[in-house]
Structure 1
């Protein structure tokens, strides 16, 4: 199964979906070395290292302060073997594997945050929309320095995640540090996290907004429905679309491909390259563009990763959309989940993905066409200026239009762009593109 996870796979139910749900790819799990590596496959076993391994096990069993059984030691050795390959490869025990499979449905228990590790600390990379974490104000970039009063520095991801797990409704206190400031506590209750991956609405007449929180199995289908709803609500062809991928940690590869397919008529979307033959895949548009080729802006930031970067990179390379915001996370690898015969699995990195123009995003990210950093919007009162229509005896419009004296404008309904600077800038750009294109 192909999985585009951003962070370590141990962040599994604090609603920590790692890079979001998995997809079961139509490719067999490689059990042998790829062609062309016969010399490596026939290399003799490293007997000296194996003897050292056996000796270490014996010493631990004989001298460790508490008895440790062989099963525990071997399982920990396997975990270490996988975790030291790269940040995204991992050994999944029965519980973690089950949770990873369940996350495909977009429902799981936890807090609703994506985490990684940095300098020995647990770091929040992305809060998930409409979850306890996002409602409590936890932000991308926050460091979790304590969990229920216990320091996290030096803990493994497994240990930290285990401490953040718990019964639904049970409260947990996280001590956070933001931007190098003073530590502060946030107390929140664990919940069943139901992530709706796609939200859509009209920002103004003619301008549609689609937000994807993460890429699940049905995300492509949900985007198709969102486009249809926006057209219906607008009553006519849209003037422009904003696709918001900010703080989207990624997820299912096929879902990312399907989303791009809804916005382009032809061309390459993404391709992957790895050591094994069946890790080299190419995905192209099928010609079912549902966006009617209207002007488009894609919003990204440092929390946009993996599948999000596939979408942004494809639409950027195909000159289909203007990418706006800040540079994305830079997670350009593909993980394959290989089930084992004892309800366990290996999640290993098997390939890198590339944008249509051959760009590898790994450790670099997608650079936006227009950089717009996050900022606070402060609305100042415009003041009611005295107007021509306020003057006694003023002339009529001439074309029969109604007078517009001071205070005649209706108060606008609050909209998402009112306090979201990046979104407001994207909407302004769309309006300009719409005007110059004559729509």
Structure 2
């Protein structure tokens, strides 16, 4: 994308939450610089400073820049000499702090690359989740990811990794091990595995591009009802297609209702939240955004809902941004009952730009409001059914994640009670209606009943 970001439709550059995605390239150097100054900047760390300054100058949601003289900030940045890029990075971060906006921030190349991997919902590696076993202090496989080289090679949950490319893992952190295992697509890595059923052995693996699962789902038989439980961890680029598969698969299994778990979901891509909202809503507003010029953009459902079955949504204090967009849309439109704790309260939208040295800049470009016009900034969304977990309950779920989304999970249990109450409100068909529906199964008989 070579055109100026300011001409983009909001969804092409927007993100919400702790995760961010690449937005666009940018123009270099503003007007008023002489040719000699431009030439000097091209080979200087000041290149990045000027690129970043221009983006903020043209896009930042607050045209007063938090009552700061943004032109003076530029003069200060470009008026200094820097001995390294790191020194320039530090100066840029300090300048951005003047905006008092934690979401407008600079990322060095490593941070920017990590963020892109996060929001793309992909990574280059072998596809295993690791943990450091609390008792043995040995790196252990939690699970191999679906369709990954690790799964295809037969790596199993519980396998202990003794070495990576011959380097012993004793005393190694999960992060250090992950950095060794990840690498460019097509390259190879060898893991030495210790498994209870056999002596230690080596497994050679070829790294591949792996789609990370952000949606997990299962069918729960709760009394007489079949509940489709879906947990969404993040709004990555792959989240919509994974959500679509989950809804369709569970619908095919004849569920009676859904529980959508957005707890501890920090957000992600704005477009993903819109796409997923449309899977649950046939009509109604989803969100309204306002940029620094006061221009409004209304985003709405488009009659593409995949289900109309009863829905309960679980949230907590770590449900933020894109999670709050989806929650607000479902709540304000009466599509779902929201259960849990007050949400985080982040009502800002960012765009992210790649800078010329591989670093990146996230800039707040808009404020958003729920369909009812509510500003949730620093307030969050109040659930329809408010139920906070005690410290002991949180600790119990954190220490045993398998209990999340079960009857040992108080918020999930309350969601089941809500759905049960909704089932009770549904008027049962009369004997005549049931007979009419049965007649529809008789070959040759014309059916006019609307009972479904």
TM-score (norm 2): 0.59
The partner residue of 2:303 within 283, 287, 292 is 287
Counterpart of 1:202 in structure 2 is 219
**Is 2:326 the partner of 1:327?**
no
Contact 1:198–1:223 under 8 Å retained in 2: yes
Change (3 A) 1:227 1:54: closer
Take 2:55 and 2:313, find their aligned partners in 1: how far apart are those partners? 36
Counterpart of 1:240 in structure 2 is 257
Counterpart of 1:372 in structure 2 is 387
Unaligned runs of 5+ in 1: 7-18, 59-67, 111-129, 137-166, 174-186, 378-413
Change (3 A) 1:25 1:354: farther
Contact 1:83–1:91 under 8 Å retained in 2: no
Give, in angstroms, the shift of residue 94 of structure 1. 2.0
Contact 2:16–2:270 under 8 Å retained in 1: no
- Which residues in structure 2 correspond to 1:24-423 (within 5 Å)? 24=23, 33=58, 69=83, 71-85=85-99, 86-107=101-122, 132=131, 190-191=177-178, 195-204=212-221, 205-234=225-254, 238-276=255-293, 280-291=296-307, 293-375=308-390, 416-423=405-412
Change (3 A) 1:348 1:432: same
Contact 1:23–1:253 under 8 Å retained in 2: no
Structure 1 residues 332-382: Cα deviation after superposition (integer angstroms, max 9, x where no partner): 1111112223322221111111111111211111111111122568xxxxx
The structure with the largest helix share of the pair is 2
Unaligned runs of 5+ in 2: 1-11, 28-53, 135-166, 183-209, 394-402, 429-452
Change (3 A) 1:419 1:78: same
Take 1:239 and 1:233, find their aligned partners in 2: how far apart are those partners? 9
Give, in angstroms, the shift of residue 230 of structure 1. 0.5
Take 1:25 and 1:370, find their aligned partners in 2: how far apart are those partners? 41
Which stretch shows the higher mean deviation, 83-92 or 362-371?
83-92
Structure 1 residues 374-404: Cα deviation after superposition (integer angstroms, max 9, x where no partner): 2568xxxxxxxxxxxxxxxxxxxxxxxxxxx
CA RMSD of aligned residues (A): 4.1
Contact 1:332–1:361 under 8 Å retained in 2: yes
Counterpart of 2:144 in structure 1 is none
TM-score (norm 1): 0.60
Change (3 A) 1:226 1:170: farther
Take 1:46 and 1:91, find their aligned partners in 2: how far apart are those partners? 19
Counterpart of 1:395 in structure 2 is none
Change (3 A) 1:233 1:44: closer
- Secondary structure at the residue paired with 1:207? strand
Contact 1:208–1:242 under 8 Å retained in 2: yes
Which stretch shows the higher mean deviation, 197-206 or 317-326?
197-206
Give, in angstroms, the shift of residue 106 of structure 1. 2.4
- Secondary structure at the residue paired with 2:267? coil
Take 1:4 and 1:170, find their aligned partners in 2: how far apart are those partners? 39
Take 2:70 and 2:271, find their aligned partners in 1: how far apart are those partners? 38
Structure 1 residues 82-109: Cα deviation after superposition (integer angstroms, max 9, x where no partner): 2442111111222222222222332459
Change (3 A) 1:217 1:170: farther
Change (3 A) 1:91 1:303: same
Query: How many residues end up aligned between the 2 structures?
Result: 310
Take 1:299 and 1:354, find their aligned partners in 2: how far apart are those partners? 20
Take 2:168 and 2:354, find their aligned partners in 1: how far apart are those partners? 28
Give, in angstroms, the shift of residue 264 of structure 1. 0.9
Contact 1:97–1:343 under 8 Å retained in 2: yes
